Amino acid sequence: MSTGAAIRLALSDILDGLRRYRLWVTLATEDVLDQHRRTTLGPLWLVVNYFLFAGTFIFVFSPSDDRALHAIYIAVGLLVWTYINEIITPAVTLFEREGGLIRGTTLPVTVYILRLTLQSLIRSGYSLIGCVVILWVAGVSVTPAWGWSAAGLFFIVLVSPAIVCVFAFLGAVFPDSQFIVSNLMRIAMFITPVFWMFSGNDPIQAALYHFNPFTYLIAIVREPIVSGSVPLSMMGWCAGGGIAIWALALVLIGRNKRRLALMIP
């Protein structure tokens, strides 16, 4: 199949999936509720988890003389990282988990991708509540630059289905990748400036900062809030990367849509 034909087939699958929005919205909502159905707090445990995680980083890594600034820095960075981790780690086993539906129905591939994307978005929405509370306690002032931060969040959400798609097909083709990706994501959290600030003095730290794609995704959301500046160059890199990963996702869907049931164990 030619690349053009694959992209046309993928776009048809995406349109068909979007038309079935009631299905994947219902499934994603039930997924989140089912995970906390028998608990006292329900999904609010996600807010508690965020507070505990953020609070630990703030009190352990923040200098006492500038704790408010670091609290803002860590709160926003952790929010973005939590969402990124929510879409990448479970995406690797997505098609394996959905194997029954994939073999027994003719649903668009996009339905499974959007189901996981929305589930991750809902879960991170609870983390957003915790982030807003920390920003309020830290005394941050809302400025017009926050509009760029909102645009950064929108961009990450927009590119999320493509990221899920790429890692889902990776997991279908190479099952061992679920262990590789989960371990790499654990390491990536500490080599990504989620809670540490880039000083520019250490060449190793500089390499981890500049050659880490997660740095740019976090920065386009965090910098307008923390410093009031707009990281236009980082936004440009993110836009280019977003286009590239969407192109890859379209090709993967188009070329593998009809044989997906044969690819999964």
Q: Tens digit of pLDDT per residue, the chain (265 long)?
A: 677 888 889 999 999 999 999 999 999 999 888 887 877 778 888 888 898 888 888 887 766 567 788 888 999 999 999 999 999 999 999 999 988 888 888 889 999 999 999 999 999 999 999 999 998 888 888 888 899 999 999 999 999 999 999 999 999 998 899 999 999 999 999 999 998 888 777 788 888 888 999 999 999 999 999 888 888 899 999 999 999 999 999 999 999 988 888 887 7
Q: Residue ranges per domain, the chain?
A: 3-263
Gyration radius of the chain's alpha carbons: 19
* Nearest alpha-carbon partner for 121 in 86, 75, 91, 90: 86
Structure tokens at 44: 């609010």
Q: How many CA atoms lie within 13 A of 208 on its CB side?
A: 18
pLDDT in tens, 62-98: 665 677 888 889 999 999 999 999 999 999 999 999 8
* Nearest alpha-carbon partner for 32 in 42, 22, 40: 42
> Residue holding tokens 């900062």?
209
pLDDT in tens, 183-220: 999 999 999 999 888 877 778 888 888 899 999 999 99
The answer to whether 74 and 54 have CB atoms below 8 angstroms apart is yes
